[in-house]
């Protein structure tokens, strides 16, 4: 692969990622501590993965069902999604944004969580 194609690919991928859509572990901890009324932490993995360990306060909605059974109908709610690697949460984020939800953030991989999980 030529250097030009590599640089083009990196720039193309970079342009597809919006850093404003990601949330840090510390910001998520702050939200969980404040517990705003319209805040939802959504684990978009399978129910089995959720049972094996999830972030405290998270609800489980499989990423394929996120629009069929959204966590809320309030389009101004704060939604944070996560999964095993960040792929499914990215898909869920895009679907929710396309459905009109305005405050959707991707925590990415559950391994980004630095505290204990609920098991």
Catalytic site positions? 83
- Cβ-count burial of 96 within 10 angstroms (0-12 exposed, 13-18 middle, 19+ buried)? buried
Residues in the chain: 119
DSSP of 4-64: HHHHHHHHHHHHH--GGGB--HHHHHHHHHH--TTEEEEE-S-HHHHHH-B-TT-EE--GG
Task: Give the separation between CA 20 and CA 110, rounded to whole angstroms.
Answer: 19
Comparing CA positions, the residue from 38, 39, 37, 53 lying closest to residue 109 is: 53
């Amino acid at each position: 692969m030529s250097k030009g194609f590599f640089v083009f690919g990196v720039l193309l991928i970079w342009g597809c990622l919006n850093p404003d859509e990601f949330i840090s572990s510390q910001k998520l901890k702050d939200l969980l501590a404040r517990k705003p009324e319209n805040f939802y932490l959504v684990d978009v993995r399978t129910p089995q993965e959720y049972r094996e360990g999830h972030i405290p306060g998270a609800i489980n909605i499989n990423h394929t069902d996120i629009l069929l059974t959204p966590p809320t109908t309030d389009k101004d709610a704060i939604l944070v999604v996560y999964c095993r690697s960040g792929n499914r949460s990215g898909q869920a984020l895009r679907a929710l944004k396309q459905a009109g939800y305005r405050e959707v953030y991707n925590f990415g991989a559950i391994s980004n969580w630095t505290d204990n999980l609920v098991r």
